[in-house]
Amino acid sequence: MRPADEALIVIDIQNDFCPGGALAVAEGDEIINRVNGLMDDFQTVILTQDWHPADHSSFASNHPGHAPFETLTMSYGPQTLWPDHCVQGTTGAAFHSDLRTDPADLIIRKGFRVAIDSYSAFFENDRSTTTGLNGYLSARGITAVTFVGLATDFCVAYSALDAARLGLRARVLLGACRGIDLGGSLARMSEEMRAAGVALEE
């Protein structure tokens, strides 16, 4: 059992990010057994869940003339446009049925504000609007976090970078993550995490 001041944060293991989903990450479902087992090692387990309204600004379908994976400049900076995914209340937004959810102490829903996307478990993409996760961890006396889930180079990486920025000891178990690798994003974000002091382990 890990010490009480460490938490496991499971990022976005939802149907739309698994094979067959609207924004599927290759082999995304193959990490679930390991993630389920890791939950028994931590006294605090937190799940995150992408939770978008249908008219979300990050959806390419809401920008006529633009296609998924193009980049637009929003008020808060560059934003990748995505296929519609994890729409509130849909099967795609639900956690994968094989994922254990009963050990979760907290479920953080993110990306529910129409005008701004949210990759990180801590902040929306303006890097200042908080999800409340840091306050929760602080109140629980948690100083170290381990990340697993989907996708390595987006929501996992942004969460880990923010954790390090907030002064938490951050670790990513790469073997319990899968990436999208959009235009070299996997190597780029891995290097950013290393540079920020995030421990990358298998």
Q: How far apart are CA 88 and CA 105, in angstroms?
A: 21
Q: Which of 12, 84, 153, 162 is catalytic?
A: 12
Exactly one of 86, 155, 162, 177 is catalytic; name it: 155
Q: Which residue has the tokens 């149907």?
A: 15
The active-site residue out of 16, 110, 117, 153 is 110
Q: Is 117 a catalytic residue?
A: no
177 catalytic? Reply is: no
List residues with catalytic annotation. 12, 110, 155
